[in-house]
Structure 1
Amino acid sequence: MNILHIISSPASGGAEVYVKDLAKYLAGQGHNLHIAFLSNASDIGRDSIYEENFLNDLKFSGIHIYIIGNETRKKPWLGMLRIKKYISDHNIDICHTHLAFGILFTTLSSVPVVYTHHSMEPRWGKFLYQVFNRLVDEYVGISNKCAKALESYTMRNINTIPNAVSEEKFIGYKRARVPNDVINIVMVGRLTVQKDYMNMLRALNVLDEKLRANLRVKIAGEGEINYKSQLLEYINKNNLNEVVAFVGVQTNIPEFLYKADIFLMSSAWEGLPIALTEATVSGLPCIVTDVGGCAEVIVNSGNGIVVAPQNPQDLAEAITSLVNQPNLIEQYSRNALHNSAQYSISKAAQLHLHLYSKMLK
């Protein structure tokens, strides 16, 4: 099968990592995979070294790469023409876009189109979704909650295929957590308002001082300079420098997670974060806010605590509960290891292939 994915850029986002892992798996199964990027990472101010490694990984796996061009954001007709030509030149069977721009770019093409919605938010008005309905053959939601939200925008039947992780990356990086005196907490995600790191900082600030002294929080990810400045200002003002550290983009997330005792996500909104599924596969107990499909992962895996979003007190109580109950950390960790197969890329790939085959018939 000749499959074209359309995604934003070769950057450190959850959707991008998921598409890369999915494409690599399908290519390994003998399918011909293509990924078209709307932009280069540098066009949108993202890390160029990460982009180089990302693209090299795809090339090594035999996946074809195409840059549509950042200018098509303002000139979508160019994107339509370029995608039409690419589909024709490479005999594409299925076009699977993970961007609304990608839907527009398929306007002049005749192949079946799949659109995966990676968020809870509609992002576009209801009128435009009616236009999308004329162009999209099948919709995919990345969690049950996301699928229901997308159904309300489109009034169409939605396929639910949960975000997944390549377990191959985690060979040698899984373990049951047995905490020591110092508890290492990790967070993974861009430094943006969406991830609400300020919520986490405020939670740390209301913790018992003795308990907080035994915590180390490492945050992996790039992001907005102004937002990071606000976070650093709060850290300095509240003497959290010994507790919290920003470690930038990590090239080996499985190794980064392996060294941790707890995974924490304090987001204000989400779809279904790849970082959370990666943490689950690695065997980490998790504390997450009840946004998007996060609670679904915790309920299905039995590996953590769900708290209300934008509520530092709730988050602080969850951290205290885990730190004060080492046996709970161990139990959540073993649950994660036992139940995480449901988020394997092989399962997601089979669900996608079934959908593609149904469309082609």
Structure 2
Amino acid sequence: MRVLQLIDSLEAGGAERMAVTLANTLSETIERSYLCATRQEGLLKTSLKPEVSYVFLNKRRKIDMSAIFKLYSYIKKEQIDIIHAHSTSFFMTTLMKWIRPNLKIVWHDHYGNSSYLEKRQYGVLKFCSGYFSLILSVNSVLESWAKHHLKCPEVIYLPNFAVQDRDTLPVTHLKGQSGKRVLCLANLRPQKDHQTLINAFRIVHDDYPEWTLHCVGQDFKDRYSKSIYALVEELGLNDHIYFYGSCPDTDHVIQQADIGVLSSASEGLPLALLEYGLGSLPVVATDVGDCNSALPKACHDFLVAPAEPQLMAERLKVLMGDAAQRNQLSDLMFQHVTAHFSAVAVTDKLKVLYSQL
């Protein structure tokens, strides 16, 4: 079995990290594992294992004949059986299916705005879905949506999973006082609603001024990120909230933190929560998408409504003021994630699905 993971970029987003993780994990158990980035390389390229064959298309426009021919030639040369396309890379995959009809196409839906599916533009996706053999959805809402709106007859819920990368060199050192750090793993995008988190931290700061917030994720240097920095400045929190951009050593970053937080307005099944769990962090998160499935029931008191900074602040203060409870919940998070979102369980299921194609 020869499987190519197809993704638009290798920047450190959730879909991108999942594509790399799948390529790496599958390289241990199938004949050949491949990964193709269509538009842009990025930080995650260094995370690919040597066993994964890699190709970059440098695609510049929607119909880029040079990129199309390069991918077609690569698929033909390597005799690839299955293209596993992630998120917006489905159009290029459909073109390959037209050229090589025997290819099997799997499309992986990581759509983060699953709370706002009524606004999703999906005309081209609906047309292309008629060429898919299988759709994988990262949460139950997306699974139901695909069954009702797309043409592919086979739709399966497949949860995300996280793995720890012990081989990456530790290069990121968090500021602030050890034992009093809150970590947010999220790219600076509106969906992640950093405003709610920052406003919550302003409330927290009055009672716990020694605690600091550390935001790790790609900065797109757009209007949204500028508004975030302006809010931190306005609230006088420059010495208590720190931004690091994308970091290659996520595991090392998590090891330096004491609480994980996610303030998203909408989610699928966020990889960040699974990484917090593997890193034994207690979590405060918004109750959106399938976030509740990433936390054991004993931790559900720490799920709050989105866009409610006061509620988020109250939950954060509970954990900040009780080290024993932090330790207890961190153990529960680790046990839950390793039991339900392990790489072995998910990739074994995926290989069965591949073989059935």
Q: Which amino acid aligns with 2:83?
A: C
Q: Which amino acid aligns with 2:348?
A: Q
**Structure 1's 86 and 297: CA in aligned 2 closer, same or farther, altered over 3 A?**
same
Q: Which amino acid aligns with 2:335?
A: H
Q: In the alignment, which residue of structure 2 is the partner of 1:4? A: 4
State whether structure 2 residue 103 is matched by structure 1 residue 106. Answer: no
Match of 2:348 among 341, 347, 350: 350
**Correspondence 1:217-256 to 2 at 5 A:** 217-225=213-221, 226-256=223-253
Structure 1 residues 317-337: Cα deviation after superposition (integer angstroms, max 9, x where no partner) = 211222233332122101012
What is the TM-score with the length of structure 1 in the denominator?
A: 0.85
Q: Structure 1: how far apart are the matches of 2:219 and 2:162? A: 23
Q: Structure 1: how far apart are the matches of 2:233 and 2:165? A: 40
2:83 and 2:93 in contact (8 A); partners too: no
Match of 2:57 among 53, 57, 68: 68
Q: Which amino acid aligns with 1:355?
A: L
2:138 and 2:158 in contact (8 A); partners too: yes
2:287 and 2:303 in contact (8 A); partners too: yes
Match of 1:89 among 60, 77, 90: 77
Q: Which amino acid aligns with 1:94?
A: I
Q: Structure 2: how far apart are the matches of 1:304 and 1:275? A: 19
Q: Structure 2: how far apart are the matches of 1:100 and 1:304? A: 38
Q: Which amino acid aligns with 1:69?
A: N
State whether structure 2 residue 133 is matched by structure 1 residue 141. Answer: no
Structure 1 residues 118-160: Cα deviation after superposition (integer angstroms, max 9, x where no partner) = 0126586454344223210111011223322333332644211
Q: Structure 1: how far apart are the matches of 2:344 and 2:167? A: 14
Superposition deviation, residue 348 in structure 1: 1.7
Q: Structure 1: how far apart are the matches of 2:122 and 2:220? A: 30
Q: Which amino acid aligns with 1:186?
A: L
Structure 1 residues 33-72: Cα deviation after superposition (integer angstroms, max 9, x where no partner) = 111111123xxxxxx5x2xxx33442x422111222322x
2:296 and 2:333 in contact (8 A); partners too: no
After the TM superposition, which of the residue ranges 336-345 and 148-157 deviates more from structure 2? 148-157
Q: Structure 2: how far apart are the matches of 1:275 and 1:94? A: 28
Q: In the alignment, which residue of structure 2 is the partner of 1:189? A: 186
**Structure 1's 270 and 169: CA in aligned 2 closer, same or farther, altered over 3 A?**
farther
State whether structure 2 residue 201 is matched by structure 1 residue 204. Answer: yes
2:164 and 2:251 in contact (8 A); partners too: no
2:178 and 2:256 in contact (8 A); partners too: no
3-state secondary structure, aligned to 1:135: coil
Q: Structure 2: how far apart are the matches of 1:241 and 1:125? A: 38
Give the paired residue count. Answer: 339
Q: Which amino acid aligns with 2:3?
A: I
Structure 1 residues 95-121: Cα deviation after superposition (integer angstroms, max 9, x where no partner) = 110033344333422211100000126
Q: Structure 2: how far apart are the matches of 1:5 and 1:233? A: 38
Structure 1 residues 172-227: Cα deviation after superposition (integer angstroms, max 9, x where no partner) = x9xxxxxx99521001121121211111111122336122x031111112212233
**Correspondence 1:1-361 to 2 at 5 A:** 1-41=1-41, 50=43, 54-58=44-48, 60-71=49-60, 73-75=61-63, 80-98=68-86, 99-108=89-98, 109-110=100-101, 111-119=103-111, 120=114, 125=121, 127-154=123-150, 156-167=153-164, 169=166, 183-207=180-204, 209-211=206-208, 213-225=209-221, 226-299=223-296, 302=299, 305-341=302-338, 342-359=340-357
After the TM superposition, which of the residue ranges 277-286 and 75-84 deviates more from structure 2? 75-84
Q: Structure 2: how far apart are the matches of 1:127 and 1:238? A: 43
Q: Which amino acid aligns with 1:144?
A: S
1:141 and 1:160 in contact (8 A); partners too: yes
Q: In the alignment, which residue of structure 2 is the partner of 1:45? A: none
Structure 1 residues 302-357: Cα deviation after superposition (integer angstroms, max 9, x where no partner) = 47711111121221121122223333212210101222222222222111101000
Q: Which amino acid aligns with 1:3?
A: V
Q: Which amino acid aligns with 1:13?
A: G
Percent identity between the two aligned chains: 21
Q: Structure 2: how far apart are the matches of 1:139 and 1:309? A: 29
**Structure 1's 332 and 304: CA in aligned 2 closer, same or farther, altered over 3 A?**
farther
After the TM superposition, which of the residue ranges 301-310 and 92-101 deviates more from structure 2? 301-310
Q: Structure 2: how far apart are the matches of 1:301 and 1:106? A: 47
